[in-house]
Amino acid sequence: MTTFVDANLGHDVISGKSVTGVLHFFNKTPVDWFSKKQGTVETATFGSENSAARSAIEQIRANKLTLLYLGVPLHGPPISLGDNKSVVNSGTTPHQQLHKRHLMLSYHFVREAVAAGEIRFAHINGEHNPAGVLSKHWGYQAVWPLLRPILFWKG
């Protein structure tokens, strides 16, 4: 199971809220996706990306539980890929001092899932992150290179 996660800071110009985009794959097949405006206004990319990572982990847990109920064997922890290196590093190495309560809770939620071996969290370049399609306003020229391998995968 592989999950791509991305956020767009200040996506909504009127409210200033960010948008979370999450794309779930099973065996290189997209099976679930999520695109929603975040509940809080963030002042930095770290906050919006961290909230997106928390949402992705909640969805990973739900998808894992559904697969287990269906009797599907899962081998190894799911992989979550995000394009914000500071969020990935803080999720895998505890050293962060946070002052906003909701950001601190999201950070500890992500950190606990990684520390427990529930997921593996890694960095992916933003140009190659297909979850960006769900969170950003992109034109055809930017979206097609990300969508083509998903729609026409050869294997």
Q: What is the DSSP string of 118-145?
A: S-EEEE--GGG-TTHHHHS---HHHHHH
Q: What is the pTM of this model?
A: 0.87
CA distance 112 to 146: 31
Cβ-Cβ contacts under 8 Å for 1 (sequence gap 6 or more): 24, 25, 26, 60, 63, 64, 67, 74, 78, 79
pLDDT tens, residue by residue, 37-92: 888 887 788 888 888 999 999 999 999 999 999 999 989 999 999 998 888 887 77
